[in-house]
Amino acid sequence: MSEPVTALMGAEDKVGIATITEGGPLGMITLRGDLSDKALKKAAVAAGGVTMPEQGHCNNEGEKGIAWMSPDELLIMCPYVEVHDRLADLQAKLAKGHALAVNVSDARATFLVTGPRAREVMGKLSPVDLHPDRFQPGMFRRTRLAQIPAAFWMPEEETFQIVCFRSVARYAFDVLKVAAQPGSEVGYFTS
Amino acid sequence: MSTRLATGGRLLKTDKPLSFTFNGKHLRGYEGDTLASALLANDQMLMGRSFKYHRPRSVVASGAEEPNALVNLGSEGRFEPNQRATVTELFEGLEATSQNHWPSLEFDVGAINRHLSRFLPAGFYYKMFMYPRSFWKHIYEPFIRHSAGLGKAPKARDADTYEHFYAFCDVLIVGGGVAGLEAARTAGRSGARVILVEQTEHWGGRAPVDGGSIDGGSVEDHIARTLAELEGMENVTLRLRTMGAGVYDHGYALAYERLTDHQPDAKGPRHRLWRIRAGHIITATGAIERPLSFAGNDIPGVMLASALRDYVVNYGVSIGDRTVVVTNNDNAYLTAITLKKAGLDVPVILDARVLPEDIGLVEQAKALGIRVLMGHGISSVKGGKRVTGVAICAQAGEGAVLEEIACDAVAMSGGWSPVVHLWSHCGGKLRWDTDHGCFSPDLDSPPKGADGMGFVTPAGAASGMFALDDVLHDAHAAADGVVTSLDFKLPRDVEAPKAERREESPMMPVWMMPHGASVKLREKAWLDFQNDVKVSDVRLAAQEGFVSVEHAKRYTTLGMATDQGKLSNINGLATLAGALDADIPAVGTTTFRPPYTPISLASIAGEARAETFQPLRRTPLHDWHEANGAIWEPVGQWRRPYAFKRGLESTHDAVMREVKNVRENLGLLDASTLGKIIVKGPDAGKFLDMMYTNMMSTLKVGKCRYGLMCSENGFLIDDGVVARIDEDTWLCHTTTGGAESIHAHMEEWLQTEWWDWKVYVANVTEQYAQIAVVGPNARTALERLGGMDVSKEALGFMEWADGELGGFKVRIYRISFSGELSYEIAVDASHGAAFWNALLAVGNDLGVMPYGTEALHILRAEKGFIMIGDETDGTVIPQDLGLNWAISKKKDDYLGKRAQERSHMTEPTRWKLVGLETTDGSTLPDGAYAVGEGTNDNGQRNMIGRVTSTYHSPNLDRGIAMGLVLNGPDRMGEVLTFPGTNGKEYTAKIVDPVFYDKEGEKQNV
């Protein structure tokens, strides 16, 4: 098989008030089911390699992670090359119950927005309260990035990781670049 | 003449001179000047012309309420019309030009309207342009369009960028005067998150100009102290040059920040629109002084008393050497005192009131030796482009001139109106304040939130408090109440500052000066300076029956100019009330709507311009298409190749080549945009039987079936091939445009109606690059890639299989939308481009060519396959299209079933799908109608059908079409007439819609 190619082949922009980088290929599995079900939780934790997140949160360790998407949906992350095996394993474990697990790794693009002004850049595009007291590493939001659906979390302070659909990767990158344009500091979170 | 005083101004940096141009003339000003103050300092009183009569206009105000001093700013990509000189900060190299005149500002031909004003009263346009009817299109409309608008629309592309910013806070405070600062200090001390916005570039509002003392010190010291405290609070955000533009439901507000208007060469966006969610909004928006209505009150040199004072104190600009002050309240005496102290002459103060005793400012003015005439007013102002004098009369009389006094400026004050706009935007009610002759917020009827509680609180002058001590106390109390309601607590030591109280006599409402002014005087007394609405116009409107304030407004255009009546509204409706013998509160106000002052359209668009105007969806093969001659077609937000042009061939030739090549050799189609929805669960089969008109639960694993989806109303909304993946799982293909909407449609039914059915759905459209490999050589190409068995025996028509091809993990569907041997192959999107290239390589000597959407359309039309959006338009049911075979008769129900049994749906006269073959081989125009016998009630020819799809078929070398025709299927062989829009009448024979390979042998090999 060929080498996987991301939508923008790792595009990067460093001229603005935050750095924008397209992430490399990442394994992603959408799991829908009863999140209170023990077997499902166990299988999800095995696939994601981290503990179950609380509502509105995301647990991450490197490329491994689980994000809470809705009352009946999780997003499980893993290294891209492992996704088919992990999915098959997950599906086998859930075969008896009622759940749906599908590979969405290639349906997505990911971006990192980093720097002390990262919160401001995100605050120009997403209607989310990003005050450091209100949005912190570990929290997860499904929202929009200007005109497209997106989800994001903070793997650490000063870093946002964004997931959006692959087809709009170019738009996401461009709109982040506009939001981070030189001279556009807001001074809202850092005076 | 107006000139700069030697004393300098409070806001002026006289060590920083700036140069700028007005109508090409080079002028000089200082940092800290507004364009208005700088023009006045250069004796450039004349700044524009009014809209209707082209009257000479100069500044009347000193702030955001200015109706007159509107200019064009900048040039090319930074050109902007209708900019208020009073709020435009001066910068080096500023270019301004005046508006609405020809050939020049000083000599304007349009001013002839002024002499015709007797013939151009209110409602003139409505009356005049009614008759004769034929004049409207060719004479009146072009004339009105020519004269519409003061400024000209920019022609060049905007050189700047703009952005939004989402902010959340507990308390948003609009207005950075002493009230706003005090409210922010109080709210800030409670620990609440506070945003304080101020529209100008200075904190403190007009309090420093009006003087007084706070906590024993100067107003300026108090402001500096408060600011220092606020700047030390981490929970408080302070923004200058940011206007609270609008208040909306649920504590939502817009604030408009001007970042580079005063420094156009600075980096970054020009404007930022703050989209704020606030727990509570405090409007500390101050008050606006009202003009007085007397004859000649629009002549340059007549100005609001407070504005005249501002120019002297803030910018060191004197409007004239001799200023007559005319007033109905104490406040304007400040102007007289200020002028006198600056060494300028005030020949007289005309006070419409007769006061029993001289106290406060009146006493002070008299002590300075200023002549005060009580019970007097202005009969008329003398002068044309400049004030030369005033004729004095008794306020109580009809305007008989008692005395004429020479002067070159008039300072007028009709009292103050609180700025209630933001309070009112979301439904806050007003009450009439008899003492101050103004509307104030009715605190018992605030705009209410979801919890039924008010979410806006006015503070200071915006709340109808005019004495400095009242303003501070009110602002403090307002903020205290607000933070308490939000569960914050104030430390005990936080108290309102105390200001020294001035003794004051009550104001007296004056809506016409003199009270009994004759028609002649009323015709020269302006209410709306920009739109040229006079007292006489409003009275005429009342006389002609426009008794509602909203109707009178539209009839006279009062308050409809770019300033939205900030100066004219109250005077106008008081005049209307007077004419109707009604109380002012009974007449009411017109509706206050956002934005408070105009904001740039570009700030509303924000980042949505140029490359990021809207999201454009790209398939994994987009870049290849772009590099290989794709002509793009927008399909939803996707771009799909319409055709791939080679060399110099035309697009039409490219399409013909692609269609023929698919039938003869091998075509590749990027089908990645087609929707792919996984439906899984024990009840998935039952669910799909409801979604589709045909049976999906009986589909065998490994097989595919074409299905139709209808809305509840029976109309066809989507179609596609469904594949059964395993016992519990189906994959539904949708149209490109239907992927998201059908996914949402499924979720809606599952979440709202069948919430107890065990079904999960997931939209996996973008997970796959899907490529259709089509044509007689398709199988050979796939065999060359090597891997899974793609023979007829292993993978028959309407079957699917997982496997590997050329090292790629693939899922192959043997489905055909072209009638040819066809494989639709899905690979993970990240490998899509590589797989496409592998197909091109193995197909090289098999005649492989990519083909676009137009070839796809022709190929399906040759086979008589319908297309959602062509054969359907939201009013077509499957039965109209002869798709009865795809409607299960065994099922009890499916979405649309009952609707399709309604009488209108079963009527035999519904137009039905047929093929159409032109008699001369030409191509029918798209959308053409077939005409029948006779005419309808409107005298139009009766119509009996229409073309839904029409193409030139290169394989048949003739025009082919499909259409919906009355009794169509029963009229095979009949010839219909289709009038074209080009004068030609087309004739076409009704035929079977399948034009090519009727038996379907080619796809089933």
DSSP-assigned states of every residue in A143-168: EEETTEEEEEEEEETTEEEEEEEGGG
Cβ proximity of B417 and B65 under 8 Å? no
**Percentage of chain B with pLDDT > 90?**
89
Q: Is the pLDDT of residue B342 over 70?
A: yes
Query: How high is the pLDDT of residue B111?
Result: 66
What are the DSSP calls for B895-908, one per residue?
TTHHHHTSHHHH-T
pTM of the model: 0.94
**Closest chain A residue by Cα to residue B169:** A129
Query: Is a pLDDT exceeding 80 seen at residue B216?
Result: yes
**CA closest to A17 among chain B residues:** B268
CB B47 within 8 A of CB B99: no
- pLDDT of B117 > 80? The answer is no
Query: Cα(B961)–Cα(B873) distance, rounded to whole angstroms?
Result: 17
Is the CB of residue B85 less than 8 Å from the CB of residue B59? yes
Q: Which two tokens stand for residue A164?
A: 């959006």
CA B93, CA B106: separation in Å to the nearest integer? Answer: 23
Beta strands in B200-319 (DSSP E): 213-214, 217-218, 236-239, 242-248, 252-258, 271-283, 287-289, 302-304, 317-318
- ipTM entry: 0.97
For B623-653, what is the HEC assignment? HHHHHCCEEEEEECCEEEEEEECCCCCCHHH
pLDDT computed for residue B150 by the predictor: 72
Q: Give dist(CA B92, CA B17) in Å, integer.
A: 9
**Amino acid at the residue B239:** R
Please give the pLDDT value at position B118: 66
Instruction: With cut-offs at 50, 70 and 90, classify the pLDDT of residue B508.
Output: very high
Q: How confident is the model at residue B1000, as a pLDDT?
A: 87
Distance CA B496, CA B477 (A): 8
Residue B659 pLDDT more than 60?
yes
- Partner B, chain A 48-67, Cβ-Cβ below 8 Å: none
Decide: B251 and B203 in contact? Cβ < 8 Å: no
Q: Which residues of chain A lie closer than 8 angstroms to B269, CB-CB?
A: 181, 183-184
Please tell me if residue A185 touches chain B, with a CB cutoff of 8 Å: yes
Q: Buried b / exposed e across B796-826, counting CB within 10 Å, b at 16+?
A: eebbbeeeebbebbbbbbbbbbbbbbbbbbb
Give the CA count within 13 Å in the CB-facing half-sphere of A181: 17
Nearest to B378 by CA among B343, B403, B353, B344: B403
Question: Is residue A115 less than 8 Å (CB to CB) from chain B?
Answer: no
Q: Which residues on chain A are in Cβ contact (under 8 Å) with B761?
A: 100
Where do we find the tokens 């304030």? B549
Residue matched to tokens 């290294």: A79
* Residue A165 at interface with chain B, using a CB cutoff of 8 Å: yes
pLDDT given at position B109: 66
Task: Note the pLDDT tens digit of each residue in B598-618.
Answer: 999 999 999 999 999 999 999
pLDDT at B913 over 60: yes
**Residue B115: band (very low, low, confident or very high) from pLDDT cuts 50, 70, 90:** low
Pairwise CA distance, residues B324 & B345, whole Å: 9
- Who among A106, A126, A165 is closest to B828 (CB)? A106
Instruction: Indicate the pLDDT class of residue B112, thresholds 50, 70 and 90.
Output: low
CB atoms within 10 A of CB B224: 14
Q: Which residues of B touch A174 (CB under 8 A)?
A: 611-612
CA dist B295 and A115 (Å) reads 63
Average per-residue pLDDT for chain B:
94
Mutation to test the B interface, candidates A122, A171, A190, most B Cβ within 10 Å: A171
* Rounded alpha-carbon distances, angstroms, from residue B412 to B64, B289, B525: 18, 9, 13
Contact flag B166-A33 (C-beta cutoff 8 Å):
no
In the structure encoding, which two tokens stand for residue B442, read together?
A: 């009715």
Q: Flag whether pLDDT at B72 surpasses 90.
A: yes
pLDDT at B142 over 90: no
> What is the arithmetic mean of pLDDT over B286-309?
97
For residues B880 and B98, the model is more confident at B880
Say whether pLDDT at B281 is over 50: yes
Residue B496 pLDDT > 60: yes
Size of interface A-B (CB pairs under 8 A): 149
Q: In this predicted structure, what is the pLDDT of residue B110?
A: 66
User: Average pLDDT of chain A?
Assistant: 96
| DSSP3 helix / strand / coil % (chain A, rounded to 5) | 25, 35, 40
Cis geometry, peptide bond prior to residue B103 (ω within 30 degrees of 0) = yes
pLDDT at residue B978 tops 50: yes
CA B229 – CA B724 distance, rounded (Å): 69
Chain A: give the shortest CA distance to residue B773, in Å: 19
The predicted pLDDT at position B149 comes to 58
Q: H or E segment at A40? A: helix A38-48
Per-residue pLDDT at B122: 72
Once rounded to an integer, what is the mean pLDDT over residues B889-896? Answer: 94
N-terminal to C-terminal alpha carbon distance within chain B: 97
Mean pLDDT calculated for residue range B923-930:
96
For residue B71, the number of C-alpha atoms closer than 13 Å in the C-beta half-sphere is 27
Model pLDDT for residues B828-862, shown as the tens digit of each residue: 999 999 999 999 999 999 999 999 999 999 999 99
Any B CB within 8 A of A6 CB: yes
pLDDT of residue B128: 66
Encode pLDDT of B380-399 as tens digits: 999 999 999 999 999 999 99
Cβ B735 vs Cβ B674: under 8 Å: yes
Amino acid making up residue B799: E
Task: Give the residue extent of every domain in chain A.
Answer: 12-24+107-179, 33-106
What residues contact residue B301 under an 8 Å CB cut-off, 6+ apart? B45, B58, B319, B320, B383, B386, B387, B408, B409, B410
Query: What local confidence, expressed as pLDDT, does residue B102 receive?
Result: 66
Residues present in chain A in total:
191
Task: Find how far residue A148's CA is from the centre of its chain.
Answer: 14
Closest CA to B383 of B413, B352, B414, B404: B404
pLDDT band at B210 (very low <50, low <70, confident <90, very high): very high
Instruction: Please give the share of chain B, as a percent, with pLDDT higher than 70.
Output: 96
CATH superfamily label, A12-24+107-179:
Probable tRNA modification gtpase trme; domain 1 (3.30.1360.120)
Q: Is the pLDDT of residue B148 over 60?
A: no
Q: Which residues are within 8 A (CB) of B324 and not within 5 positions of it... i.e. 6 or more apart? A: B346, B347, B348, B349, B350, B378, B390, B405, B407, B409, B410, B411
Q: Are B179 and B472 in contact (CB under 8 A)?
A: yes
pLDDT above 70 for B119:
no
Report yes or no: A108 at the B interface, CB cutoff 8 Å: yes
Is the pLDDT at A191 greater than 50? The verdict is no
- Whether B453 contacts B477, CB under 8 Å: no
Residue B842 main-chain phi, psi, to 5 deg: -75, -20
Q: What is the pLDDT of residue B52?
A: 79
Question: Counting beta carbons within 10 angstroms of the beta carbon of residue B64, is it exposed (0 to 12), middle (13 to 18) or buried (19 or more)?
Answer: buried
Residue with tokens 């795809």: B886
Average pLDDT for B903-922? 96
* Residue pLDDT, tens place only, B343-361: 999 999 999 999 999 999 9
**Contact B277/A at CB under 8 A:** yes
Give the model's pLDDT for residue B596.
97
User: Is B194 within 8 Å of B235 (Cβ atoms)?
Assistant: yes
> What's the CA gap between B691 and B708, in Å, rounded?
8
* pLDDT for B48 beyond 90: no
Terminal-to-terminal C-alpha distance of chain A? 51
Residues of A in Cβ contact (< 8 Å) with B835: 2
Q: Do B764 and A146 touch (CB under 8 A)?
A: no
